[in-house]
Amino acid sequence: MTYFVLFLRLCFVLGGLALASNPPLCCGVEGLVLMSIARCGLLLSLRVSFVSLALFMVYLGGMSVDYTYS
């Protein structure tokens, strides 16, 4: 379980770096998706499953709207 949490933290940091490196739009969205999956996985490891699922749906819904209109 400890390695899983460390892996999720690493994914969160890598997603942030991918987003902060000023990538094209499609790569920026991939960084945001990676960060949201990692953050929701960390919430799942804390046994907060409903909040994790709700945040994941909000993140993906907001990102899909931004990606569609840009």
Please give the radius of gyration of the chain, using alpha carbons only, rounded to the nearest integer: 13
Q: Which residue has the higher pLDDT, 59 or 38?
A: 38
pTM of the predicted model over 0.75 = no
How does DSSP assign 8-52, residue by residue? HHHHHHHHHHHHHT---HHHHHHHHHHHHHHHHHHHHHTT-HHHH
Q: Where are the domains of the chain?
A: 2-69
For 6-54, what is each residue's pLDDT tens digit?
A: 998 898 888 888 878 877 777 777 777 788 888 888 888 888 878 778 8
Q: What is the pLDDT of residue 66?
A: 65
